[in-house]
Amino acid sequence: MTLRAGVLAVQGDVSEHAEAIERAAAAHGETADVVEIRKSGLLPDCDVLLMPGGESTTISRLIHREGIASEIEAHVAAEKPVLATCAGLIVAASDAHDDRVETLNLVDVTVERNAFGRQKDSFEAPLDIDGLASPFPAVFIRAPLIDYVADDVDVLASWDDRAVAVRDGPVVGTSFHPELTDDPRIHDLAFFENVES
């Protein structure tokens, strides 16, 4: 089967996500047909969506300007899977406490930008994740702090007693960057039914 995978490409770490979804698909004997989304009209034909890290203020501004925001909302309303990482999670959240980011309310969490971790800039940590048999090498880069999680949102992983990976229906959100490692298991978790860990 070929999975048509949209990668939001208005700004951010696009190629890393494209490679990660291709790796995850190959591990399942499938192929991923990656579509870089910079304008409206492409996402409606995609099976899954990746919302990369980058700069959430820029991503938010551009997806609204280009008419992509409403297509993302329709994708989720149709229960199609989404993986939103770091800035992607900020845009997908219900609120980011920042007027420059018009969030999409796809995941019922609120976030504070650039606020996670003792080292505010970047660190890597082995993370226990629900459904994975061994720790995942999680890379945090100026990561958002998830400061509220609604009752019906599943917390898949926590670090320092804080949620850092969540699932809300078809949407998986991480405050770290699974696309920056060779480990495909988060992309597996988000997009493929049978996770081998």
Q: Which of 187, 186, 185 is nearest to 196 (CA)?
A: 185
**Count of residues binding ligand GLN (CB under 6 A)?**
11
Q: By CB under 6 A, is residue 90 in contact with ligand GLN?
A: yes
Taking the complex as a whole, the smallest distance from the CB of residue 180 to ligand GLN amounts, in Å, to 9
Q: Which residue has the tokens 């199609």?
A: 80
Residue span binding ligand GLN (CB under 6 A) among the ranges 85-93, 126-134, 146-154, 164-172: 85-93
Whether 179 is catalytic is yes
What is the 3-state composition of the chain as percent helix, strand, coil, each rounded to the nearest 5? 25, 30, 45
Q: By CB under 6 A, is residue 56 in contact with ligand GLN?
A: yes
Q: Which of 17, 28, 75, 113 is in the footprint of ligand GLN by CB under 6 A? A: 113
Cβ proximity to ligand GLN, 4 vs 142, nearer residue: 142
Taking the complex as a whole, the smallest distance from the CB of residue 111 to ligand GLN amounts, in Å, to 9
Q: Which of 175, 63, 69 is nearest to 125 (CA)?
A: 175
The side-by-side arrangement of strands in the sheet containing 154-159 is: 31-37, 2-8, 48-51, 82-85, 171-174, 162-168, 154-159
Which of 86, 102, 124, 193 does the annotation list as catalytic? 86
Q: Which residues bind ligand GLN (CB under 6 A)?
A: 53-56, 86-87, 90, 113-114, 141-142
